[in-house]
Amino acid sequence: MRDRYALPPLPDAENGVVMRFAPNPSGPLHLGHARAAALNDAYVRRYGGRYILRIEDTDPKRVDPAAYETVPEDIAWLECAITETVFQSDRLETYYDYARRLIERGGAYLCTCENERFRELRQAKRACPCRSQETEESLARFEAMLAGEYAEGEASLRVRTDLEHPDPALRDFPAFRVLTSTLHPRVDATVYPLMNFSVAIDDHLLGCTHVIRGKDHIANTRRQQFIYDWFGWTPPHFRHYGRMGIEGVVLSTSEMRAGIAEGRYGGWDDIRLGTLRALARRGIRPEAVKRSMLAIGCGETDIQYSWENLFAENRQLVDPEADRLWFVPEPVTVEVTGAMPQVSRPLRHPGDPARGTRELGFDRVVLVPKDELDQDVSMLRLKDLFNVRMGTDQDRTRFTYAGDDLAEARAAHAPIVQWLPLGATLPCTLCRPEGDVHGVCEPAVAEKVDRVIQFERVGFVRVDSVGPDGVVAYLTHR
RNA sequence: GCUGCUAUAGUGUAGUCCGGCCAAUCAUGUCGGCCUUUCACGCCGACGACUGGGGUUCGAAUCCCCAUAGCAGCACCA
């Protein structure tokens, strides 16, 4: 039987691979990044080799300095087997050097045409005047560009491709531009390579054998091919997967940033966001994220992924480990008559009795979920305690002890309900994407900060914090 | 508009290269049942798809053509 997480084999991979995950440091990583990171990671683990984290920070306008911290953190959380980290901003001299070599080979020229003018010419499949310049002149003008003799927008180094190419996007695309209006947080530069140039140079120099990335890069792959051709290099094997959306979630860093700035979201780990930090905060395991991404694979079809699939992966991981505890949402105080004080000892985990029990003392008054009282039943089973008959006394619900026999409760189709003693509880807020629920929980929940537990009959939650106002927990999923 | 890619159940996915073993795989979901002092887990069962139309062929999810739909690119972003 086929492994659900198995990926198709890669060509020429038998002797190991060199792959890379190359994000733009513009913010924390999200599910979209996770797909690329997980796919590449899985192949490196399968074939052995190197896995490069390459920070693509050649556009200072798109660099968020904080991301130099958050991106490696996020990738570590995802447990990807990164073997080395490379910053493109450290490699500017290398790119300049290869630019000179490309010019010498006749593969690039320095263009000083106005943008709009160039676009018109390109559309018409016509060469711009700069295209015919001598190699020497291109070289000299490129040095002048590096020396700061051109202002922003005045010059760019273009790769000589094919003016007749049916796709105008591939005709003489730019490789370098001048950028002085925005300072780079890490380096002092005025000339930056464009993505297609730095990526082609780096993939070759770092020895990348296979590249897996989104299909939004298909045109870039063709552009990069021209660079490989000029240098006589063999390109890596490429594979492009389709666009992925997730129901109800924004996977755009800029949109998330705007939402945070406007106060619509509490931060990058707001549980309504698709960032890895938000998933972590909800109690989604990195392994569940990776498995989901591997199950999706690298098909070229666009997909609308469903949370259900991710949740199912996570539930499988979390269920055997999560201790069971009780949370009573919207608690109602009810007096129980006819029963002696006693101690109930529910199991910490029904599948693993060895983990022991916790103690809940019953003494006349209990807190039960409000919703349970609205049901059209006359009998209730207080879980791990006894049966009660529901009655009312002056508009208030009252319980009367109705025996210990579980079979009787089943026969009467009595709901089995979690409860808590009046005294020994902690206030608890359960945060869900649809809104918060207030209630009380067992005091033992306070020992579970940062862990995923199951609130029985409610769902899995991650205990986020314990403060003076009680416990804050996030609903992971049911 | 131009250039290109893709199209299997509610969702994701296998099968498509090399046509028959596919009345189409697996997971998830929904419903029902069993188990159970949780509405969880586990187990059993049911539901549910080859975008449409032509063609080639003894035979098409698979090959060809057309249509339709979606997506990507057409940035001095990555």
Distance of C1' in B70 from CA in A304, Å: 12
Cα A73 from Cα A94, distance rounded (Å): 27
Measured CA to C1', the nucleotide nearest A460 is B40
Distance of C1' in B74 from CA in A300, Å: 20
Distance of C1' in B32 from CA in A64, Å: 53
Distance of C1' in B15 from CA in A251, Å: 31
Distance of C1' in B17 from CA in A8, Å: 13
Distance of C1' in B53 from CA in A310, Å: 38
CA A204 remoteness from chain centre: 28
Return the pLDDT at A2. Answer: 57
**Pairing outcome for strands A237-241 and A210-214:** parallel
For B72, nearest residue by CA–C1' is A216
Measured CA to C1', the nucleotide nearest A322 is B40
A153: left (phi over 0), alpha (psi -120 to 50) or beta: left
**Spans of chain A, pLDDT less than 70:** 1-2
Measured CA to C1', the nucleotide nearest A304 is B11
* Whether the Cβ atoms of residue A463 and residue A471 lie closer than 8 Å to each other: yes
* Whether the Cβ atoms of residue A442 and residue A456 lie closer than 8 Å to each other: no
For A362-408, write each residue's pLDDT tens digit: 999 999 999 999 878 889 999 999 999 999 888 899 999 999 999 99
Q: What share of chain A is helix, strand, coil (3-state, %, to 5)?
A: 35, 25, 40
Cα A27 from Cα A186, distance rounded (Å): 16
Which ipTM was obtained for this model? 0.92
* A149 C-beta neighbours (distance < 10 Å), count: 12
For B27, nearest residue by CA–C1' is A4
Cα A29 from Cα A275, distance rounded (Å): 6
For A158-214, write each residue's pLDDT tens digit: 999 988 887 888 889 999 999 999 999 999 999 999 999 999 999 999 999 999 999
* A375 C-beta neighbours (distance < 10 Å), count: 12
Return the pLDDT at A1. Answer: 39
For A170-186, write each residue's pLDDT tens digit: 889 999 999 999 999 99
For B11, nearest residue by CA–C1' is A306
Measured CA to C1', the nucleotide nearest A455 is B38
pTM of the entire predicted model: 0.94
Distance of C1' in B78 from CA in A202, Å: 14
Give the position of tokens 């010059």: A155
Length of chain A measured in residues = 478
Measured CA to C1', the nucleotide nearest A150 is B76
What are the residues whose beta carbons fall under 8 Å from the beta carbon of A411, sequence distance 6 or more? none
Distance of C1' in B60 from CA in A234, Å: 39
For B41, nearest residue by CA–C1' is A319
Distance of C1' in B33 from CA in A52, Å: 51
Strands (E), A275-330: 303-305, 324-325, 327-329
Which amino acid, residue A404?
D
Distance of C1' in B55 from CA in A79, Å: 52
Measured CA to C1', the nucleotide nearest A88 is B78
In strand B, the nucleotides that come within 7 Å of a protein beta carbon are 1-8, 10-15, 25-29, 36-42, 70-78
